Amino acid sequence: MRCLFCKADSSRSRSVEHIIPESLGNSRHILGRGVVCDGCNNYFAKGVEKPFLESPGVKTLRFEQELLSKKGRVPTISGLLSPGVPVEVTRFPKLELTSVAVPPDAFERVIAQKSGQLLIPTAGPWPTGSVLSRFMAKIALESMAARLETSEGGLDYLCGEAQLDPLRDHARRGTTPIWPVHVRQLYPSDGYIVDASGDRQQIVHESDFLVTAAGEWYFVLALFGTEFAINLSGPDIDGYRRWVLEKPGESVLYSLKNLALHPMPTSA
Ligand SMILES: [Zn+2]
C-alpha cells in the first residue's frame, strides 16, 4: 500500500486520517490505515490543519459553535471588558460556564467597576492564501480517496495519477505558492435543514465534486455555510467563477438544492 501524498510504502502506518479535522466537528469521515502514511498524517496536523484551525476567524467560529478540540476543549478567544480591558474568554459547554481571565494589572480596576460589558468577536475572516489552499488540497484528495477506497485498484489509480501531482505536492510541500480558492457564503453559519422526523439538523460540512462543461474538475466544500472551491487540475479558478456567474444561486452542494434549508440567505 502506498501513501496518497508522498507515495511511500504505508503498509505499516497505524494512523487513520480525518478528512476534515475533528476540531471542526468531524467524527465520521475517516480514511483507513495507510491511505495517508503516519509521516504525512503528522505533518498535516501540524503544518496544514493547525494554521487553519488557529487562524482568528476559525478560532472564533469554533468558540461560537462550541466545537471541541481533540482534547475536548473549546478554544480560548480574546475579548474586551469595557472600558478597554483585554481579556481571554473560555467556554466550558458541559458545565455551561464561560470564564473570563483578566490580566493581573487590570484586576483592581475591574473589581472597582460596578458593571461592565464583555465584548467578544462573533465572526472573523476565513484564512486566505496557502493556509486555505493547502487545507483544501488535502481535503480534496482525501475526499477522492474516500470515494475510491472500496473499489478495486481505486487507490492505486489515485496514487499514480500524474495530473494530480501538483495538487498533492501543494498540500504536502507547499509547492506552487499561489493556488486560488473560490470563497462565497451560501447560507448562515447556523443554517439547518429539517429532517424527515421534523428535527432541525445543523449543516456543519458537506462536499462534492463538480465537472464543468469545459472538463475541469473542482472540489467544493462548505463549512458552516461558507463554500470553498478548488480546481483539482491546476492553480486557476476562472472556470469556477464563470460557472457561478452562469448559474446564480446554484451550488453542487446538497443544502442549496434542498428547499427545507433555513434560513435562506436574503442576498447573494
Ligand atoms: Zn506519506
Q: Is residue 86 part of a domain?
A: yes
Average pLDDT over residues 47-71: 92
Tell me if 249 is assigned to some domain: yes
Q: What pLDDT shows up at residue 255?
A: 59
260 C-alpha to ligand 1 centroid (Å)? 41
List helix spans (H) across 65-179. Answer: 107-112, 129-148, 154-160, 165-173
Average predicted confidence (pLDDT) for the chain: 89
3-state helix, strand, coil in the chain (%, to 5): 35, 20, 45
252 and 200 part of one domain: yes
Bigger pLDDT: 231 vs 249: 231
Radius of gyration of the chain (CA): 21
Distance from residue 5's CA to the centre of ligand 1 (Å): 5
Range of the structural domain that residue 42 is part of: 1-55+126-165
The pLDDT of 202-206, averaged and rounded, is 81
Residue at 219 is within a domain: yes
CA–centroid distance, 64 to ligand 1, in Å, is 34
Q: What is the mean pLDDT of residues 101-124?
A: 83
**How much is the pTM?**
0.89
CA 157 to ligand 1 center in whole angstroms: 16
Same domain, 8 and 82: no
Q: Provide the pLDDT confidence category of residue 236 given band limits of 50, 70 and 90.
A: very high
On whether residue 65 sits in a domain, the answer given is no
28, 132: one domain:
yes
188 lies in the same domain as 264? yes
Residue 142 within any structural domain of the chain: yes
List residues bridging with 51 in a β-sheet: none
For residue 229, how far is its CA from the centre of ligand 1 (angstroms)? Answer: 24
Residue 29 and residue 97 in one domain: no
Q: 126-145 pLDDT, tens per residue?
A: 999 999 999 999 999 999 99
* Domain total in the chain: 3
Are 89 and 81 in contact by the 8 Å Cβ rule? The answer is no
Residues 156, 252, single domain; the answer is no
In a domain, 149, yes or no: yes
Residue 60 lies in a domain: no
Residues 102 and 16 in one domain: no
Same-domain pairing of 209 and 231: yes
CA of 173 to the centre of ligand 1 (A): 11
